[in-house]
Amino acid sequence: MIENFWANALFSVIPTIFLGLLFWMLLRSILHADRTERKVYAQIEAEERARLGLDKPVT
């Protein structure tokens, strides 16, 4: 009986851990993609401002 208890406990915890890790990896990849996209967008915007001469102070 004790062997069945530990097997049942293990089989009930493994899917929860797996789904938790899957959710963590998904959120991590989404946040990483967003961070990268914002960085690239800021770089493109800076290049466009420099190209159009909008970075020069108005005097």
Where along the chain do its domains lie? 23-52
* 7 pLDDT higher than 90: no
What gap in Å lies between CA 37 and CA 57, rounded to an integer? 28
% residues pLDDT > 90 (the chain): 63
2 — pLDDT class (breaks 50, 70, 90): low
Please report the pLDDT score of residue 33 as a whole number. 97
Q: Which residue has the higher pLDDT, 59 or 19?
A: 19
Please report the pLDDT score of residue 28 as a whole number. 98
Instruction: Give the containing element (helix H, strand E) for 21.
Output: helix 2-52
Structure-token pair, residue 24: 């963590």
